[in-house]
C-alpha cells in the first residue's frame, strides 16, 4: 500500500477546503469551518494500485499548535497551491509559496526527489471578476515547475477529481515518496513529525 501525503496550501478563503470536500464527497456546500487544521484520509485506487491518501487542510486563522509552512512543506509528498482568480493578493501569496517549496527542495539537495506541485487557479466561475490572467498562472507554473489548472470547486466535480487523481499518481512516482518508502527509518521519523505537527486531528470522509 502506498502512502501519499498532499498539502493544500494558499491564501485565506481561496477555496482550499471547498476543493478537498468536493473531491471527497462530490459536493460543494458553500461554507466550511476554518478554525482548525486537519488531515482528511481516503483510500483510493490509481492505475490498479491501492493508495492511502492524506490531505492536509491548513487553518488560516491563528489556532492552537498550528504548524508552520516549512513543517507542512517537509511533511508532504505533493502540493496543491491554490489561488483565487478574482483576488490578486491570493496570487501573490501562491507565488511566494511556490518559490518557498522550490527553495526548500533545493535545500534538500537532490533534484530527483523534487516534490510534485500543482498550481490551481480556483473560482473560474468568477471570471467576470477576474484579477489574475490565465497566462500569469501559466507563467508561474512554468517558472515553478508546476502543472497548472484553472477550475471551479463550485461548478465542476470532474475537473477537481481529475486534478487530485493526477496529483496522487505523480506524487506516488516522485522521488520523495519513493525515498520515504525505501527508508523505513525515514517513515518512522515522518510519522513522529505528523504526530508532533498535527496531533490527533485527523478526519475520514
Ligand X SMILES: Nc1nc2c(ncn2[C@@H]2O[C@H](COP(=O)(O)OP(=O)(O)OP(=O)(O)O)[C@@H](O)[C@H]2O)c(=O)[nH]1
Nearer to ligand X, 9 or 177 (CB): 9
Of 142, 8, 18, 3, nearest in space to 69 by CA: 8
Smallest gap from Cβ 172 to ligand X, in A, equals 25
Give the β-pairing of 116-122 and 147-150.
parallel
Smallest gap from Cβ 94 to ligand X, in A, equals 11
Smallest gap from Cβ 8 to ligand X, in A, equals 8
Nearer to ligand X, 77 or 84 (CB): 84
Q: What are phi and psi of 67, to 5 degrees?
A: -80, 155
CB 116 within 8 A of CB 170: yes
Smallest gap from Cβ 111 to ligand X, in A, equals 30
Nearer to ligand X, 10 or 51 (CB): 10
- Angle at which helix 16-25 crosses helix 157-173, to 10 degrees, equals 90
Nearer to ligand X, 14 or 171 (CB): 14
Tell me which residues touch ligand X (CB under 6 A).
Answer: 12-18, 30-32, 34, 60, 122-123, 125-126, 152-154
CB 157 within 8 A of CB 22: yes
Amino acid at each position: 500500500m502506498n502512502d501519499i501525503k498532499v498539502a493544500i496550501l494558499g491564501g485565506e478563503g481561496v477555496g482550499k477546503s471547498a476543493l478537498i470536500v468536493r473531491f471527497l464527497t462530490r459536493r460543494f456546500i458553500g461554507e466550511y469551518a476554518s478554525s482548525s487544521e486537519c488531515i482528511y484520509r481516503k483510500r483510493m485506487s490509481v492505475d490498479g494500485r491501492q493508495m492511502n491518501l492524506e490531505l492536509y487542510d491548513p487553518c488560516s486563522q491563528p489556532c492552537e499548535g498550528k504548524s508552520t509552512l516549512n513543517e507542512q512543506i517537509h511533511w508532504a509528498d505533493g502540493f496543491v497551491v491554490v489561488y483565487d482568480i478574482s483576488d490578486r493578493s491570493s496570487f501573490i501569496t501562491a507565488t511566494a509559496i511556490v518559490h518557498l517549496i522550490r527553495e526548500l527542495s533545493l535545500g534538500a539537495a537532490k533534484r530527483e526527489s523534487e516534490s510534485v506541485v500543482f498550481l490551481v487557479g480556483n473560482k473560474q466561475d468568477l471570471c467576470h471578476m477576474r484579477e489574475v490572467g490565465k497566462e500569469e498562472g501559466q507563467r508561474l507554473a512554468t517558472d515553478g515547475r508546476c502543472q497548472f489548472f484553472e477550475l471551479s470547486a463550485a461548478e465542476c466535480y470532474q475537473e477537481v477529481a481529475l486534478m487530485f487523481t493526477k496529483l496522487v499518481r505523480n506524487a506516488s512516482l516522485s522521488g520523495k515518496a519513493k525515498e520515504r518508502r525505501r527508508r523505513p527509518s525515514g517513515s518512522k521519523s515522518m510519522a513522529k513529525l505528523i504526530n508532533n505537527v498535527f496531533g490527533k486531528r485527523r478526519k475520514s470522509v
